[in-house]
Structure 1
Amino acid sequence: MPMPLEGMPESRARPDDTGPGDSNTRANAQTLALGVIGNGSIAALIDGMARIVWCCLPRFDSDASFCALLSPQREGGDWIIELEHVERAEQEYLPNTAVLVTRLYDRHDNAIEITDFAPRHRSRGRFYHPVMLARRIRPIQGKPRIRILLRPLCDYGARAPETTSGSNHLRFLLSDVIQRLTTDVAVPLIERGLFFHLDRPAHLVFGPDETLVTSPADFIHSSLEYTIAYWRDWVRYLSIPYEWQEPVIRAAITLKLCQYEATGAIIAALTTSIPEAPGTRRNWDYRYCWLRDAAFVVRALNRLGATRSMEEYIRYVFNIFSAEGDHEVGPVFGITFERELPEREAAGLDGYRGMGPVRIGNDAWRQRQNDVYGSVVLASAQLFFDQRLENRGDARTFQRLESMGRMALRMAEEPDAGLWEFRGRAAVHTYSAAMCWAACDRLAHIATELGLKDRARYWHDEAVALHERISKRIWNERLGHFVDAYDGEHLDASLLLLADIGFVRGRDPRFIATVDAIGKALGRGDYLFRYIAPDDFGAPETSFNICTFWYIEALAATGRKRRARLMFEHMLAQRNPLGLLSEDIAPGTGEHWGNFPQTYSLVGLIQTAMRLSRRWEDEL
């Protein structure tokens, strides 16, 4: 086993902690120093010592076969490639790919290199993205000794799987799938977890229970080559900003890894139950598709020119809405269109750093969150205006979106849980109402583009009337700024989006006053809280990353770009060693909290970089 932390029993060493000499992450050992590999079917989290500590099989929201991140009560839940007497590690992505490389060095000048990826490339006119993890281990220095511990668990850590073996493979009967490890390492060495000298490259393919038609070495060699080519080709066509290219590219690739290829669903994060702060019960399952979060992802990728994600997501949304009609729509769905996501607790997992409970499912599906109608329309709008698309939006598509507009009009001024998903109270939230206005406003623009004059006039008039009603109820004359709910007195960070969605202009004095009030009330140094008023679980303890990015954008929109750039550079410095972000940051320590990697946070990074970057033309 890798060396545990000093003073901790080996079985409770935290899976995201680094080895004693890891220069990349030693200074920030308490952060989520994890990398992500994936292919649109599955994704895995890998720590700084190349341990796979989280992966759900056979899809994002399935049983966590690798669950060491959440402290299983049984031994295992991980896939370790251990270098004997390891002393330090280095880790990086191959540039412009989702291929992760880790180099481990021991105290005797021996070293190995581990290359991790999930195959993704075009094959026979389709995308090849199997439920598969591939690992290559190479000796790069001296005579290293390693051992391989492949220890998946079942039922969220509750039991070990049944296994069988052959001459060159191991089979694992997991909860929802049978996986086969095919390898050119002698099978008994893996079965018994024995150390051996690595004198040649070793190859491990953990995938469907099928026989490889070629050797593991040849399969990995060709799959790695094709996968690298796929990601570099995808990145090549991104419309990235002049500045901060590497952070934007890494964020974009990671967002792409959070889209489920089979349906187009985009999940909020790959994990469940990483708490928002130490010891809090604010820990939720984010492995589902929130229509709002996914719409933010689509808009960010659209700005980069990656429009296929939008087309796939709209396909997912229309599959949901085809059965809904003009009825209320829930805020969150399963990745294969599940409407009910009942919440329960996993008894076999103690939680991230022992901070349970671990939740499976999310009761937010029961809530009313009225901003979803505007989210869907805004995510779909580019379909009607982008001439690059093969299947642009037409009158029939517009008619389907109109059901969202009708629901927006019906629900705009009805109480809801809001985008922060309050579980114990409801109000007519400003952001929800404004997004309902945005649905009507964009439908008017789309109708105009399609030449549907009567529909354009109808939606324009409804948008104007709704805007007037909302404006009267969300402005607090005594306080001198917009408030979070009709006739309210509190602030929340979603008010920073009023300019972004076009409800007010960025230089509107009311918006500037609101931005200033939010910075004063919700700011903590270079971080921003989403709100500070106590909710169902008390007062929030950590800043919300996307809110910090919203504030930076609002500063830029109101003309304070120097301050905005300084804050943005600070946020870039808070990314983990591989350039990723979780949901929250503790202002006092810079420690990452919340589910990981958080699509919201990466969206904020991309959007802010696009707004603040100098233009290419200014530098060439």
Structure 2
Amino acid sequence: MSEARHIYDIGIVGNCAYVAHVDARARVVWMCLPRFDSSCVFGHLLDRERGGEFSIASDEERVQSARQEYVWNTNVLVTTIETADGAFRVTDCAPRFRQFGRSFKPLMLVRKVEPIAGTPRVRIVCRPRGDYGRVLPNTYIQSNHLRYDLDGEIVRLNTNVPLSYIAGERSFVLSEKKYLILTWGAPLERALEDTAEEYVRRTVQYWQKWVERCAIGRFYQQEVIRSALVLKLHQFEDTGAIIASATTSLPEHPESGRNWDYRYCWLRDAHFTLTALNRIGQFEEMKRFAQFIENIAASATQSRYPPVVRIDGDFELPEAIVPMKGYDGSNTVRIGNAAATQVQNDSYGQIIYALLMLYVDERFPSEPRSASKRLIATLLGIIESCLDQPDASLWEFRELTRRHCYTSLCHWVGAKSAQKIARALDDREMRRAATRLTARSERLIEACYDASVGAYMQEPGSKYVDASALQLIILNYLDTRSERAARHLVALEERLMAGGGLLHRYTHADDFGAPASAFLVCSFWYVEALAAMGRIEDALRELDILLRYSNGLGLFSEDVDPKTGGQWGNFPQTYSHVGLINAVLRITSKIDYPEFY
């Protein structure tokens, strides 16, 4: 690998049913259908030979420049490529708009290709694959489209480009607008050109109206808008689940072995995500996600819940390795996630905290509150049973378990939330149980405090700290005006700062050795903690540094290499964008922000 900064030169489009990754050469390099967690139909990102791709390209030696941008305040992506022969533009759109009183979000990708200078020559390649590259299609040229049969599944490419050019992957002169509409399953039964133009226009209008309804002030407005749009794209509207990322197996660092499938919903992320959605005023998205979390918790038949679930709520996520070459030849591509079988006891308090909004936010109807009373009591019972049990916690150690301070903090947060829920329900028994658990979890947290260091350690008696301890400040366990909070934050800075405004999540070795990259959300937590402590100038300085780690479209990865500033890990990562939203809005809650424009 080069020491040059590694960037994912990629944008995404989607419609809350699927997400497609399009690189700066107008190649669809990653796209899973019919769901986020389905096999990739185009997997060039993980295997350039077997993965398949959908590209609109000129000969590499004739390309002079390429750039991408989003249509203003939308998830409609425009790629402009200049060649020695001329220039052309590709507009990619995953249709989404209101129709017949419902969200219209077909499994369809619209691609508009238009010349903008000279006489550019292009070559269109469409190579869908099934079962992670193991199934090659039978291809048929129909009257006005190409049909690809993938072991029982049908992909159709409708276009006004001569079908022989596409089937033969031959170059041709782009002298007028061309349209390509890729569909999964259902055929296109409308006029091609008019449909493409209408769907692009209505999708642009939809996203711009959606942004208008966001409660986003002018402070770092552009960055928060893009983060909100990214977050929205990763919600599977059918159930309300929000995935961590739409990719799998993009390594956290070259040759690290840390490459995971993130196309699922982590329950612990609920309160971070719901907080972000609530702060930007997106009630419908918040409501859908809260109801998904409630349904998961209510449907569990055992005394423990998995920390991560499929987007349809299924608890089974068996992890396997598929025969693809991997990103940049990393050789390991995982599907599924073994974290689903881990003991991660922090999730239960997070679930209660997430469900708190159902009780204290008056926008939610009051009827379901009494119905979920038993659920809250069950979750409190689970917390009581595992209160002092070692677990893998949020870092998902595969061979290590500890009595994590962060897990105890989540017990405390869940218990404090249950106290508020009990008051709303006028349930004295629940309130007594929650009060008892609050006190017990406080004792466990305090057992992690090391007076000689002035900080809360990863577990009682440990010599290590980790970035999750920032949440002691963010979640108001520590009084932000206290000397203890100030010393705690300084100790974390001294031990975890990686340079360039980045924080390591921890610095000690885990199952894969010492981590080389910085988990980006931890750095946004740091900004939020600085703001909570009133260190506004420091928070603003650190935030400005972190914004440099996006790609040219404002998209953030999971991890950053502190040495090069390179992007690594799955991309884009909703957790990073949620961290940005919460950090910016925490700062605005502390300042009269117009003076900072």
TM-score interval, normalised by the smaller of the two chains: over 0.9
1:86 counterpart (41, 58, 63): 63
Label 1:29 to 1:474 Cα distance change in 2 as closer, same or farther (>3 A): closer
1:219 counterpart (195, 201, 207): 195
CA contact (8 A) 1:241 1:609 kept: no
Deviation at 1:395, TM superposition (A): 1.9
Deviation at 1:88, TM superposition (A): 0.7
Report the Cα distance in structure 1 between the residues aligned to 2:291 and 2:363, rounded to whole angstroms.
Answer: 18
Could you tell me which amino acid in structure 1 is paired with residue 586 of structure 2? Answer: R
Label 1:475 to 1:250 Cα distance change in 2 as closer, same or farther (>3 A): same
2:461 counterpart (472, 476, 487): 487
Partner of 1:10: none
Residue 396 (str. 1) matches residue 371 (str. 2): yes
1:106 counterpart (83, 89, 97): 83
CA contact (8 A) 2:555 2:572 kept: yes
More off after superposition, 325-334 vs 390-399: 390-399
More off after superposition, 581-590 vs 310-319: 310-319
CA contact (8 A) 2:480 2:533 kept: yes
2:580 counterpart (584, 601, 605): 605
Partner of 1:37: 13
Could you tell me which amino acid in structure 1 is paired with residue 468 of structure 2? Answer: S
Report the Cα distance in structure 1 between the residues aligned to 2:372 and 2:35, rounded to whole angstroms.
Answer: 30
Partner of 2:420: 445
Deviation at 1:370, TM superposition (A): 0.7
Residue 373 (str. 1) matches residue 348 (str. 2): yes
CA contact (8 A) 1:408 1:437 kept: no
Label 1:474 to 1:69 Cα distance change in 2 as closer, same or farther (>3 A): same
Deviation at 1:423, TM superposition (A): 0.7
More off after superposition, 188-197 vs 460-469: 460-469
Partner of 2:451: 477
1:512 counterpart (486, 493, 504): 486
Partner of 2:92: 116
Deviation at 1:583, TM superposition (A): 0.7
Deviation at 1:143, TM superposition (A): 1.9
Could you tell me which amino acid in structure 1 is paired with residue 119 of structure 2? Answer: K
Deviations 1:567-613 (A, max 9, x none): 10011111101101111100110101111111111111111111224
Could you tell me which amino acid in structure 2 is paired with residue 407 of structure 1? Answer: I
Deviation at 1:533, TM superposition (A): 0.7
Label 1:80 to 1:29 Cα distance change in 2 as closer, same or farther (>3 A): farther
Report the Cα distance in structure 2 between the residues aligned to 1:176 and 1:351, rounded to whole angstroms.
Answer: 26
Label 1:206 to 1:415 Cα distance change in 2 as closer, same or farther (>3 A): same
CA contact (8 A) 2:5 2:564 kept: no
Report the Cα distance in structure 1 between the residues aligned to 2:124 and 2:445, rounded to whole angstroms.
Answer: 62
Partner of 2:280: 304
Deviation at 1:455, TM superposition (A): 4.4
Partner of 1:541: 516
Partner of 1:596: 571
1:47-66 pair list within 5 angstroms: 47-66=23-42
Question: The residue matched to 1:490 in structure 2 has which SS?
Answer: coil
CA contact (8 A) 2:496 2:503 kept: yes
Report the Cα distance in structure 2 between the residues aligned to 1:530 and 1:327, rounded to whole angstroms.
Answer: 30
Partner of 1:131: 107
Report the Cα distance in structure 2 between the residues aligned to 1:320 and 1:461, rounded to whole angstroms.
Answer: 25
Could you tell me which amino acid in structure 2 is paired with residue 120 of structure 1? Answer: R
CA contact (8 A) 1:267 1:290 kept: yes
Partner of 2:166: 190
Deviations 1:279-338 (A, max 9, x none): 111111111111112442222111111122222122222332333257111101111122
Report the Cα distance in structure 1 between the residues aligned to 2:219 and 2:312, rounded to whole angstroms.
Answer: 38
Could you tell me which amino acid in structure 1 is paired with residue 100 of structure 2? Answer: R
Deviation at 1:350, TM superposition (A): 0.9
Deviation at 1:459, TM superposition (A): 4.5
CA contact (8 A) 1:37 1:45 kept: yes
Deviations 1:425-468 (A, max 9, x none): 11111111111111111111122234x15146324522442243
Deviations 1:95-127 (A, max 9, x none): 11100011111123x111110011111111211
Residue 284 (str. 1) matches residue 260 (str. 2): yes
Report the Cα distance in structure 2 between the residues aligned to 1:288 and 1:315, rounded to whole angstroms.
Answer: 16
Could you tell me which amino acid in structure 2 is paired with residue 439 of structure 1? Answer: G
**TM-score for both structures, normalised by structure 1:** 0.91
Give the count of matched residue pairs: 592
2:136 counterpart (156, 160, 167): 160
Report the Cα distance in structure 2 between the residues aligned to 1:391 and 1:140, rounded to whole angstroms.
Answer: 56
Deviation at 1:392, TM superposition (A): 7.1
Could you tell me which amino acid in structure 2 is paired with residue 533 of structure 1? Answer: H
2:72 counterpart (78, 92, 95): 95
Report the Cα distance in structure 2 between the residues aligned to 1:350 and 1:535, rounded to whole angstroms.
Answer: 26
Report the Cα distance in structure 2 between the residues aligned to 1:187 and 1:73, rounded to whole angstroms.
Answer: 23
Could you tell me which amino acid in structure 1 is paired with residue 536 of structure 2? Answer: K
Could you tell me which amino acid in structure 2 is paired with residue 458 of structure 1? Answer: R
Question: The residue matched to 1:440 in structure 2 has which SS?
Answer: helix
Deviations 1:402-440 (A, max 9, x none): 322222222222111010000111111111111111111
Report the Cα distance in structure 2 between the residues aligned to 1:280 and 1:263, rounded to whole angstroms.
Answer: 34
Point out where structure 1 has 5 or more consecutive residues left out of the alignment. Answer: 1-13, 18-26
CA contact (8 A) 2:412 2:442 kept: no
Report the Cα distance in structure 2 between the residues aligned to 1:616 and 1:521, rounded to whole angstroms.
Answer: 31
Residue 230 (str. 1) matches residue 209 (str. 2): no
Partner of 2:472: 498
Partner of 1:423: 398
Question: The residue matched to 1:353 in structure 2 has which SS?
Answer: helix
Partner of 1:68: 44
Question: The residue matched to 2:241 in structure 1 has which SS?
Answer: coil
Deviations 1:67-104 (A, max 9, x none): 11112443x61111013522111210011110001111
CA contact (8 A) 2:6 2:568 kept: no
Label 1:498 to 1:264 Cα distance change in 2 as closer, same or farther (>3 A): same
Report the Cα distance in structure 2 between the residues aligned to 1:221 and 1:28, rounded to whole angstroms.
Answer: 40
Report the Cα distance in structure 1 between the residues aligned to 2:424 and 2:543, rounded to whole angstroms.
Answer: 36
CA contact (8 A) 1:444 1:455 kept: no
Label 1:294 to 1:464 Cα distance change in 2 as closer, same or farther (>3 A): closer
**TM-score for both structures, normalised by structure 2:** 0.95
2:550 counterpart (568, 571, 575): 575
Question: The residue matched to 1:405 in structure 2 has which SS?
Answer: helix
Question: The residue matched to 2:41 in structure 1 has which SS?
Answer: strand
Deviation at 1:619, TM superposition (A): 7.9
CA contact (8 A) 2:32 2:42 kept: yes
Partner of 1:8: none
Report the Cα distance in structure 2 between the residues aligned to 1:617 and 1:560, rounded to whole angstroms.
Answer: 18
Could you tell me which amino acid in structure 2 is paired with residue 61 of structure 1? Answer: D
Report the Cα distance in structure 2 between the residues aligned to 1:323 and 1:386, rounded to whole angstroms.
Answer: 24
Deviation at 1:391, TM superposition (A): 6.4
Question: The residue matched to 2:236 in structure 1 has which SS?
Answer: coil
Report the Cα distance in structure 1 between the residues aligned to 2:434 and 2:293, rounded to whole angstroms.
Answer: 24
CA contact (8 A) 1:549 1:608 kept: yes
Deviations 1:517-564 (A, max 9, x none): 111111012110000010111100011100111112212222322121
Report the Cα distance in structure 2 between the residues aligned to 1:36 and 1:401, rounded to whole angstroms.
Answer: 38
CA contact (8 A) 1:281 1:356 kept: no
Point out where structure 2 has 5 or more consecutive residues left out of the alignment. Answer: none
Report the Cα distance in structure 1 between the residues aligned to 2:190 and 2:559, rounded to whole angstroms.
Answer: 45
Partner of 1:269: 245
Could you tell me which amino acid in structure 2 is paired with residue 309 of structure 1? Answer: E
Residue 359 (str. 1) matches residue 334 (str. 2): yes
Report the Cα distance in structure 2 between the residues aligned to 1:91 and 1:98, rounded to whole angstroms.
Answer: 12
Label 1:558 to 1:236 Cα distance change in 2 as closer, same or farther (>3 A): same
